[in-house]
Structure 1
Amino acid sequence: MQDTPRARALAKELRAARNAAGATMRQVGDVLGWSEAKVSRFETAQRGLNLETTKAFLDALSVTGVKRDRLLKMARELDQPVWWEFGGGVPVQLSELADAESRATRITSVAEIRIPGLLQTREHTRALLAAFGVEPDDRVEQLVAIRQVRQGILTKSDPVEYEAILDEAVLCRAVGGGRSMAEQLDELVRVASRDNITIRIVPFSAGEHTGLDGGFHLLEFVSSRPVVHLEQRRCGVFLDDPDDVAPFVQARSTLRQTALGPDDSLELISTYARRHEREG
């Protein structure tokens, strides 16, 4: 099984394990009897990635314990289709985002225009997709369902740590109408009661701030280096070079200082919810 989201994810984890061990591709190749080129192809999921070769690779690096068990589990599941691979028609960038989200231990979403997908209600998502020109109806429902299933990472037994930093402007626009927007904002307050979810609002009173430069998602993992996902309309791109990711990590730190605290943020969200309810 090569060049799939799962294979690429495992390959990245194995490359990270080699780097953590301080071994070069040539050194690992010498232990395994592989050429340096073969190690490179293995670490990019181009060739030879399976359970047995993964075991051999981890043996060469002396990887043991929980880390080894986790990587072998990923290798065993390489040929098992994941939920977003059923049904067809799912954009590659969306399947890769879903895969990254499922592996992340911490996700930070910064939004200056709309509520992040992982926090959207079904009606909110439908209204947005309609505005974006997505059709026909069955396609809309497919994307709504995918977004809802993606949200499962927030409520599973070992949920991802999720933080959303939203500009106050996100709360103002009545997406789907006043009543629907009120329900969406009430949902934000509800999910923020979970220990693993934090929502912060950057108020208008803060004036200009770094979040106005554009929204992003910062995903962090157990052993792999963090990545940033950027999206525009129906396109998305990942950044994984440390020099490219660093400004987004700094932006998160700055925005945390600029934003209201969690309690004040939820109070402001509730105020807007009641306003939309009255005007709906």
Structure 2
Amino acid sequence: MSNTPRARALAKELRAARNEVGLSMKLVGQQIGWSEAKVSRVENAKQGVSESDVSAILAVLRVTGSDRERLLKMAREIDQPAWWELGRELPQQLTALIDAEQRATRITDVTLSMLPGLLQTRAYTRAIMEAAGVDPDEVDDLVSIRQVRQGILSKRDPADLRCFIDEAALLRPVGGPSVMADQLLHIASASAQPNVSVQVIPLALGAHAGLAGTFVLFEFVKARPVVYVEARSSGAFLDEPDDVALFSDAVERVVKVASSEADSREILREYANRYESEAG
């Protein structure tokens, strides 16, 4: 199967492995009896690939040990639907985002107007979706999907999540005072986990490098980093090194001006207390 989230993920890993050893597609093809064009199609997920094909490629690239087993497992399971592909049709944009979350070793979320999706409570997510006009018949399923996605933070080998939240998002009472109080306390609690860090970008700072727009930076074991940017009804992944470098630079600039993790927890709790007092 080609051009599915899993196939595209495997293709990116194979391309990264070839680039790491500095072999050309032509040379790889010669050693396994393929044309350069076929290697290109495989690396761009435009042609299906079997486990034996992947094994041959990995032998040429001298990939061994746990990396080899991981990529062979991806090849074996390439035709098996992932949990998010079962039971309903999801937009390709969402399945690609979920796939990136599942594979990432580190996720950096710079958010402006809303709180990070991977740390949202059910009530907060529901309020966002209802305000956006999501079909009422779909809200429950989509809320549940977002909650299940958060499992990447508590699995055996969890992803590291770094969140930089503009203080403006804390001022917006999404769902009302009670929902916001619970949401902010949830984030404060989650930030105490060793693989989760949350830093607030102070409103008093004024302009900062994250103001150009919300984005998520994904980093992987072997594949090169990608950035996900989202608009109202569409999203896009950027993986060209020059493009990704712009966002990586923005992260480094934000790191320098954001409140510390400890101070950020206090800020979150202070806002939660305010909302609790408003809720009565």
TM range (shorter): over 0.9
**Could you tell me how far 1:234 is from its partner in structure 2?**
2.8
Q: In the TM superposition, what is the alpha-carbon distance from 1:132 to its structure 2 partner?
A: 0.3
Root-mean-square deviation (CA), in Å?
A: 0.8
Structure 2 runs not aligned, ≥5 long: none
- Tell me the equivalent position of 1:184: 183
Aligned to 1:251: 250
C-alpha displacement at 1:89, in angstroms? 2.5
1:194 aligns to 2:193 (yes or no)? yes
Aligned partners of 2:233 and 2:146: how far apart in 1? 14
Distance, in Å, in 1 between the alignment partners of 2:133 and 2:89 is 17
- CA distance in structure 2 between the aligned counterparts of 1:190 and 1:103, rounded to whole angstroms: 24
Query: Is 1:229 aligned to 2:228, yes or no?
Result: yes
Q: Distance in 2 between matches of 1:172 and 1:69?
A: 47
After TM superposition, the score normalised by the length of structure 1 is 0.98
Deviation sequence 1:34-82 (CA, Å, 0-9, x none) = 1100111111122141111001111111211111111111111111110
SS at match of 1:107: strand
CA distance in 2 between partners of 1:252 and 1:217 (Å): 10
Cα distance in 2 between the residues matched to 1:244 and 1:143: 30
- The number of residue pairs the alignment matches comes to 279
CA distance in 2, matches of 1:48, 1:168: 46
Instruction: Return the letter of the residue paired with 1:149.
Output: V
What are the superposed Cα offsets for residues 131-184 of structure 1, whole Å, 9 maximum, x if unpaired?
000012x30011101101110001111110100000111111110000110000
Give the structure-2-normalised TM-score.
Answer: 0.98
Moved over 4 A (4+): none
Residue of structure 2 in register with 1:174 after alignment: 173
Structure 1 position 2, deviation (Å): 1.5
CA distance, structure 1, for counterparts of residue 61 and residue 270 of structure 2: 55
SS in 1 for 2:45: coil
Aligned counterpart, 2:78 = 78
**Which residue of structure 2 lines up, in the alignment, with residue 67 of structure 1?**
67
State how far apart, in whole Å, the 1-side matches of 2:90 and 2:151 are.
18
Residue 9 of structure 2 aligns with which residue? 9
Q: Which whole-Å deviations, capped at 9, do the CAs of 1:102-144 have from their partners, x for residues lacking one? A: 00000000011000110100000000000000012x3001110
- The answer to whether structure 1 residue 46 and structure 2 residue 31 are counterparts is no
Report the AA paired with residue 11 of structure 2: A
Separation in structure 1 between the aligned mates of residue 126 and residue 48 of structure 2, nearest angstrom: 42
Read off the aligned partner of 2:270 and give its amino acid letter.
Answer: T
